[in-house]
Structure 1
Amino acid sequence: MTETDIEALIRSLVTPLLRHPESLSITVSDSDRFRRYTVNVDRADVGRLIGRQGHVAAALRTVVEGARSRRSNAKKIRLLINDHRH
C-alpha cells in the first residue's frame, strides 16, 4: 500500500474553491501525536473555504483524515484553516 501525499491532497481539494489560488500556502508541523497542516489563503477566500456553519471545512477534514495511513504508529492529522483573526 502506498503512502498518500496529504499536502498534495489538501492542495487538490482546496484550489478549486478559491478565487485567488495563487495565495494558497500550506505549512506542516509535527507534535508528539499530531501532524498539523495549516492552510493559509487570501482573506477574501477564507469564508469560501470554511463554508456555511463550517460544513466545507468539516468535509475537508473528513477526507484528509480518511486518507492518512492506518499504521499503528501513524500520527493523527489536524487540518487548520488560518482565518486571519489572530
Structure 2
Amino acid sequence: MKNLVETIARALVDYPDSVRVEEQQQENTLVLTLSVDENDMGKVIGKQGRIAHAIRSVLYASATHQNKRVRLDIVE
C-alpha cells in the first residue's frame, strides 16, 4: 500500500524526492501519512480535493480487495 501511494504521489508532484509515506498500524486500520513539499500540496489535493479523493478511492479499492482497512492522511 505504501508503494502504491508513493508511486501515485511522485507522478503528480514537481519535487518527487520530497514525497514521504509513513505506515502505522492502529488497531484494525493501517494509517498511511503522505507528506510532500509545501509547493506540491495543491497538486496532491487538487481542486475541491478531487485528486486526494481519487488517490483514496484507489487505495480503498486495493485495501478492500485484501480485506484490510486503510486511512490516508495528507500533511505538509
With the length of structure 2 as denominator, give the TM-score of the two structures.
Answer: 0.91
Q: Which structure has the larger Rg?
A: 1
Give yes or no for the alignment of 1:24 onto 2:37.
no
The 2-side partners of 1:29 and 1:7 are apart by 10
Coordinate RMSD, CA, aligned:
0.9
Structure showing the higher strand proportion among its residues: 2
2:35 matches 1:37: no
Equivalent residue in structure 1 for 2:45, among 25, 46, 50: 50
The 2-side partners of 1:60 and 1:40 are apart by 14
- Within 2, Cα distance between the matches of 1:27 and 1:8? 10
- Alignment match, 1:63: 58
CA distance, structure 1, for counterparts of residue 9 and residue 60 of structure 2: 15
Q: Structure 1 stretches of 5 or more lacking a match?
A: 1-5
The residue aligned with 2:70 is 77
Distance in 1 (alpha carbons) for counterparts of 2:18 and 2:43: 14
Q: Which runs of 4+ in 1 moved over 4 A?
A: none
* Aligned counterpart, 1:9: 4
Per-residue Cα deviation, 1:15-56 (whole angstroms, up to 9, x for no partner): 110000011111111111211000010000011100000000
5+ residue gaps, structure 2: none
After TM superposition, the score normalised by the length of structure 1 is 0.81
Counting matched residue pairs gives: 74
Q: Percent of aligned pairs with the same residue?
A: 27
- What letter matches 1:38 in structure 2? T
Return the structure number with greater helix share.
2
Query: Structure 1: how far apart are the matches of 2:47 and 2:28?
Result: 30
